[in-house]
Amino acid sequence: MAARKTLSNWLTNKYLLIIRNEENFAEKTTFSFNYARLFLLLTGVGLLLLSLAVYLVTVALEQWLDPRHAQMEANRQVLELSMTIDSLEQEVNNKDVYIENVRRIIAGEEIDQSVELSLESNLQPAELSETIQPVDSQFRAEFEGSDLAGITALPIAVSSNIYELRDIYLISPLDGIITDGFNPKKDHYGIDMVAQENEPVRSVADGVVVMSSWTLDGGYILAIQHPGNLISVYKHNSELFKNVGNFVAAGEVVAIIGNTGELTSGLHLHLELWHNGNPVNPEEYIAL
């Protein structure tokens, strides 16, 4: 009991700290304290300094003070790169399927329906490969070949996505006059428009160029993939301004009207629209 009473007295005894002027011993200030208060004050300061040190080591100065930070950061970057590689691999596979489907549309073959790709989600302009090989054989023989002969017997209105196409706003590609209309029975899957020499040819809608080359029948040909599984084709141009993979906006100049190719009878543009692999009449969807 005596020892406990002595400790209690030692903690609770009050002391007075007086600060005086060294020259005249004038009293400047005084502090009243006991060891209990002093102990609590020092404990509080210690805890505050400890918390500050932990914060600096684990948050503010982690990269300099924590030896594990470099390894954790490297692991995080490796994980992010692995996820990016997986995403890019999936995108490449999707592009391969998409390009193969476009090739089959042009060749008149059956489209692979196992993978459906939309232009907005999987076909960004900057992501298209510039190594897409253009079709070297005759465009008409591939695009309007015998495999598509049955198309002429099918009314265009039976397409399940016809209303989707009608919702797309298309502009006129040329300021000219229509001289020959859409007539699948005569293997004429588009319209012919006559205009002045060097008249610019414009894209009917936003899209990505999927073909830009020369063919024997069509001369300089440009094909553009648009949203909604729509492809527009521009034939007999004298000059092409876009390459495969280029993104074009609606109304952007993509070519110059011409008279190239064997299946031409003069200066004009032959315009075709293909929706889900079927030819449609441009006059029904474009205000010409």
Q: What is the pLDDT of residue 224?
A: 95
Q: What is the pLDDT of residue 109?
A: 60
Q: How far apart (Å, rounded) are the C-alpha atoms in residues 198 and 191?
A: 19
Classify 88 as helix, strand or coil: helix
Ranges under pLDDT 50 in the chain:
1, 115-140, 142-161
Residue entry with tokens 């299946």: 263
Q: What is the pLDDT of residue 15?
A: 79
Residue type for position 288: L
Helix (DSSP H) and strand (DSSP E) numbers for the chain: 7, 13
Residue 267's nearest CA partner among 195, 202, 172, 218 is 195
Q: How far apart (Å, rounded) are the C-alpha atoms in residues 243 and 219?
A: 15
Q: What is the pLDDT of residue 127?
A: 40
Q: What is the pLDDT of residue 91?
A: 81
Q: How far apart (Å, rounded) are the C-alpha atoms in residues 143 and 103?
A: 10
Q: What is the pLDDT of residue 69?
A: 64
Q: What is the pLDDT of residue 226?
A: 92
Residue entry with tokens 């205000």: 287
Q: What is the pLDDT of residue 66?
A: 62
Residue 245's nearest CA partner among 135, 130, 133, 92 is 130
**CA angle in degrees (0–180, nearest 5) for 270-276-280:** 40
Q: What is the pLDDT of residue 268?
A: 93
Q: What is the pLDDT of residue 119?
A: 41
User: Do 274 and 185 contact (CB within 8 A), yes or no?
Assistant: no
Q: What is the pLDDT of residue 124?
A: 42
The pair phi, psi for residue 173, each rounded to 5°, is -80, -10
Residue entry with tokens 């060749």: 107
Q: What is the pLDDT of residue 74?
A: 80
**CA angle in degrees (0–180, nearest 5) for 28-30-34:** 160
**Digit-coded pLDDT (tens) for 30-59:** 878 788 888 888 899 999 999 888 887 677
Residue entry with tokens 């084709």: 233
pTM of the complete model: 0.48
For β-strands 15-20 and 269-275, DSSP reports them as unpaired
